[in-house]
Structure 1
């Protein structure tokens, strides 16, 4: 499965009955709840990374990617937009790019 595939799955599930789909239920609670869930999953991934449990980290990383994509959907940000931003950043040093964000 690619991230494009995942985005399409989330788009389909977003249209489902919230009583029948976790994705639809989460999206129905609004962007703030989607962001909160993403944050929870990110913390769980960090914990597994520190513990060094490869299988648990893999599982949590999948949750992070899924919930990131749901959060993006909640705010109408497409994967294409994110990838375009990553492409833009490829044209400069990571240190220069980071410094430019700190100035703004």
Structure 2
């Protein structure tokens, strides 16, 4: 039986899988880290952020998860609401 790490290493041998993994690591993980760090700095749970945004906790969980899965890209309006709920503002930069 394979361990999780062995399974990942096996999957990464596929060039398409490796390319997507590297894209997520390069493009999406920094955004997720920024969002999760901002929420941690604010000392808020997903439920508390949701209440401040006028939504439900599962919506906040989906928002945070979307940046990892790439299944859904949150709108700028949603990200602005999230930032405001944390007492922050959204800034988008091209580097």
Same-fold status (TM-score > 0.5): no
The alignment's TM-score, normalised by the length of structure 1, stands at 0.29
The alignment's TM-score, normalised by the length of structure 2, stands at 0.30
